[in-house]
Amino acid sequence: MERSWWWKALLYGCAIVLAGLYLVPTVVPEEKRPAFFKDHFTKRIQLGLDLQGGLHLVYEVNIDKAVSSKVDRLSNDIEDAIKKKSPDVTVGREGRDDITVSFKNPAGLAGVDAELLKPYRRELDEVNRDASAATLRLRYDPDRVAEVEELALRQAIETIRGRVDKFGVAEPTIIKKGTDIVVELPGLKQSDFERIKSIIGRTAQLEFKIVDDGTEYMKKLGASLPKDGPIKAEPESWTEKHSGQQHEDVFLRSKDRPGLEKFIAALSGDLAVPPDRELVLEEISPRESGDAAPEKFYRTYLLKKRAGVTGEYLAMADATWDEMGRPEVSFTMNRQGSAMMEKLTGENVGRKMAIVLDEKITSAPVIESKIGERGRITMGGYGDPFKLQQEVKDLVAVLRSGALPAPLKKSFETQVGATMGQDSIDKAKFSMMIGAIAVVLFMLIYYRVAGFIANLAMVLNMLFMVAILAAFEASLTLPGIAGLVLTIGMAVDSNIIIYERIREELRQGKSPRTAVDAGFQRAFWTVFDAHVTNFVAGIVLYSYGSGPIRGFAVTLLVGIVSNLLTSVWISRWMFDLIVGRRGSVPATLSI
């Protein structure tokens, strides 16, 4: 009796027991499992979108917005650099790719030389310099646009993945397909559909912008409105903090948000919004405004287009409550963001600073003093406290996962029902059972005792496959089930190659023990090469395939590994038991 035989028996026995333990959470309902499994074995196979239903979404990334945001940041940097030499300069973005630099004094243009533009040489090209008009036009390099597009898609995928993971969706599929992002979320309930779509699609671009109070433009815009129209011009006064000077201002007010947005978008000519300003809306609830009317309304703020600080400098966000017990979001800026916030608020004490989230104002408090690293976002309104609390939690989740680099536009959506999935599972089980019975009968009839060993190895192969999938909490899809069915055939294919080699050795008059040794030894590399070839094909499918193809590839790769173990090493161990490793050598071999 060889000692190695016992070590192998112990090793293979432990592997089988461990595989069985990992399968318990998948096959036994939670209420029937002992406490031991609930504490140590909780991972289970997840069903894919096509088997248990869920959401299939396709989003289009607004690449133009990502590029324009990048150009905006460059224009901010260039303006700061130029103002150190020439304070009387106006820098702004024109279109998507162009930056225009205008000087009041023509002499200032000479200061924008190659040395000043050197840090931006890789990203910006100078397309026009007009000394008589004291203007300079820079254009974002077309090669950089492709880089921004690729980066925006990668960041969007990672951001969406972070948000979905916080929502608790098991095994989501999030992949890039051209310039689109495909999102598959299995196992969602109908009640969760709208909430998860809102969380995924929320841009979460947080900006802090100074309100441009006391401008003649708003007074002129208010005077142009008809007195009996749905949009009203309301007076508003504010006082400078340091000088105490009183200012009168005007804002627009309406109960119809779409109508007010349409009015702003149609402004042109003398009433067009200045290029370096923007009109943004804030929703005001009756209790916040002090009005007796029960309806909420919307008011305008004229903001400086350039954001003083953005959410990219956000370090942390948490759900808290204000002094009235209403939920709100408190945030902390990182070191760089804190310094920028101190500079922005220190230069604008006494003015209003709008907190803009996804191009909507959440609040516009007056800056009483310099603000550092901490701040808060009020949700506004006095609605259902449970709904507000859920909105705060969702906002914290998206802020922590980071803002999307560009807005998403949902281009396709479909909901997959679980009924079709259960029907697919039933048919797959039936086909697997028919295939397994056919293989088992063939091996028993054609190879007799050796066929029984092959069938036992096939059962162990399936056990190890499913256990590995459960250990990694893999998502089983309909193509994945097809991979399992295919593995039934693959599981005995290697044994057939080995068995035919053993038969050849027996026909040459060798003893069963010698024939088994030679058969396994000489057929090993043939079996190994076939598995390696299939494994490479599986890697290619996984690397370049989409969700369903990846599901098939995962099952195939796991099946190849476990099949090599069972068909070569475990089968050889069982043959050793028969041909005399533990006792007398038989005269014949049933094969």
pLDDT single digits (tens) 187-211: 766 667 777 787 787 777 788 888 8
Q: Using CA atoms, how far apart are residues 430 and 436, in angstroms rounded to an integer?
A: 10
Q: Using CA atoms, how far apart are residues 301 and 238, in angstroms rounded to an integer?
A: 14
The continuous run of DSSP H or E covering 451 comes out as helix 418-471
Residue 334 CB burial class (10 angstroms; 0-12, 13-18, ≥19) = middle
Judged against a pLDDT cut of 50, whether residue 434 lies above it is answered with yes
Positions of E strands within 142-275: 173-177, 180-186, 206-210, 232-239, 246-254
Residue 18 CB burial class (10 angstroms; 0-12, 13-18, ≥19) = middle
| Average pLDDT taken over every residue of the chain | 80
pLDDT at 199: 77
pLDDT single digits (tens) 152-174: 888 888 888 877 776 656 567 78
Query: Which CATH class for the 206-382 domain?
Result: alpha beta
Length of the chain counted residue by residue = 591
How confident is residue 383, by pLDDT bands cut at 50, 70 and 90? low
pLDDT at 1: 45
pLDDT single digits (tens) 409-432: 888 887 776 655 567 677 777 877
Q: Using CA atoms, how far apart are residues 247 and 292, in angstroms rounded to an integer?
A: 27
Q: Rg of the Cα trace of the chain?
A: 35
Q: Which of 20-24, 25-29, 462-466, 530-534 is predicted with the least confidence, judged by mean pLDDT?
A: 25-29
Q: Using CA atoms, how far apart are residues 350 and 341, in angstroms rounded to an integer?
A: 15
Task: Please count the other Cβ atoms lying within 10 Å of the Cβ belonging to residue 124.
Answer: 21
Q: Using CA atoms, how far apart are residues 591 and 575, in angstroms rounded to an integer?
A: 11
Nearest C-alpha neighbor of 486 from the set 557, 420, 564, 423: 557
Judged against a pLDDT cut of 70, whether residue 242 lies above it is answered with no
Domain 64-143, CATH: 3.30.1360
Residue pair 69/406 in contact (Cβ under 8 Å)? The answer is yes
Q: Give yes or no on whether 64-143 and 206-382 have one common fold.
A: yes
Q: Using CA atoms, how far apart are residues 372 and 362, in angstroms rounded to an integer?
A: 19
- Give the three-state DSSP class for 382: coil
Task: Please count the other Cβ atoms lying within 10 Å of the Cβ belonging to residue 560.
Answer: 20
Q: Give the alpha-carbon dihedral of 67, 72, 73, 76, to 10 degrees.
A: 160
pLDDT at 462: 87
Residues 6+ apart with CB under 8 A from 22: 41, 43, 467, 470, 471
Distance (Å) of CA 158 to CA 55, 80, 203, 292, 541: 19, 32, 13, 46, 22
Q: Using CA atoms, how far apart are residues 165 and 197, in angstroms rounded to an integer?
A: 14
What average pLDDT does this structure show over 129-157? 86
Find where tokens 């999935």 sit.
Answer: 421
Residue pair 198/394 in contact (Cβ under 8 Å)? The answer is yes
Find where tokens 């162990």 sit.
Answer: 460
Distance (Å) of CA 199 to CA 15, 153, 157, 165, 283: 42, 17, 14, 11, 20
Domains of the chain: which residue ranges?
3-51+418-578, 64-143, 206-382
The continuous run of DSSP H or E covering 54 comes out as strand 54-61
What average pLDDT does this structure show over 487-507? 84
pLDDT at 287: 54
Judged against a pLDDT cut of 50, whether residue 40 lies above it is answered with yes
CATH 3.40.30.10 matches 3-51+418-578: no
Distance (Å) of CA 509 to CA 355, 446, 450, 587: 89, 21, 19, 11
